[in-house]
Amino acid sequence: MLIAQLSDPHLRPAGELYRGLVDSNAMFAAALDQLDRLDPQPDLVLLSGDLVEEGTEAEYAQAASLLARLRAPILAIPGNHDSRDGFRRCFAHHPHLPASGPLHFAADGFGPLRVLGLDVTVPGAHHGEMDAAAYAWLEARLAEQPGRPTLIMMHQPPFASGIPFIDPYRCHHGERLAAIVARHPSVERILCGNLHRFMQLRFAGTLLMTAPSTTTALALRLSPDAEPASYVEPPAMLLHHWRKETGLVTHLMPIGTFRGPLPFF
């Protein structure tokens, strides 16, 4: 089973630039081109939040237009820049999304891996929150199929990255998530977005990863007084490859056209 994870495209209405500087729509289209060239094709595409920048209907119309070309099914969760209502309307044809409230979902029918979408966004705020309701929902879902390999997808990661200007926007009360995951060894990965960089760490006995943005990269500045900044670095996506004999292998895949293929050496 091959799963592609795209994150934080921050799409804009047709013809508009992200922050007035970067063509996020064209960069996301390039990511979709990359997916189209993959052989084999992904069995599933995950979108880990901040699909659009301002949560407007025009942005979601642009998102729907771009995503219509994907051949693989899509599972998506909102980020802090999304509007839950607009997001819900954009993915109204996705029966796994609830009709009201947080956009948690449990997806069982796409292959050997189960995917749980955990919506930790707080409307009107940029940080995430692992509140009591999210805790209860996740505990119940993991208890349903305790032996099945499972991915948890959420937007804000529940840890401090060391980049001071983004860490206030992490998922608060990450210790609640850790307590649940530690009791469920079937959790293969926790997959996040929000940080616009690839990061990996051990978390509650499993691996937690953040996907890079298809648009800009957050400046890797670790000084406590670092000034906030972003760069137009080479964008990338994550490819999660599940095989029974090896389990889940994750690849960081740059987006673009590069010299090659060259002779193997």
For residue range 213-264, list pLDDT tens digits in order. Answer: 999 999 999 999 999 999 999 999 999 999 999 999 999 999 999 999 999 8
Q: Tens of pLDDT along 127-184?
A: 999 999 999 999 999 999 999 999 999 999 999 999 999 999 999 999 999 999 999 9
> For the chain, percent helix, then strand, then coil, each to nearest 5?
20, 25, 50
Q: Is 202 exposed, middle or buried (0-12, 13-18, 19+ CB in 10 A)?
A: exposed
The angle that helices 174-182 and 132-144 make with each other, rounded to 10 degrees, is 20
CATH C-level class of 2-254: alpha beta
Domain ranges in the chain are 2-254
Taking the C-alpha atoms of residue 11 and residue 26, their distance in angstroms, rounded to an integer, is: 9
Grouping H, G, I as helix, E, B as strand and the rest as coil, residue 84 is helix
The mean pLDDT of 175-204, rounded to a whole number, is 98
Residue 75 and residue 117 in contact, taking contact as beta carbons nearer than 8 Å: yes
And the tokens for 116?
Answer: 């749980």
Q: Specify the pLDDT at position 94.
A: 86
Q: What is the mean pLDDT of the chain?
A: 96
In terms of phi and psi (left: phi > 0; alpha: psi -120 to 50; beta: otherwise), the region of 202 is: beta
Q: Is the pTM of this model over 0.85?
A: yes
pLDDT at 96 (0 to 100)? 85
Residue 95's pLDDT band, with cuts at 50, 70 and 90, is confident
Question: What is the arithmetic mean of pLDDT over 11-27?
Answer: 97
- The phi and psi torsions of 233 (rounded to 5 degrees) equal -85, 170
The yes-or-no verdict on residue 115 having pLDDT over 80 is yes
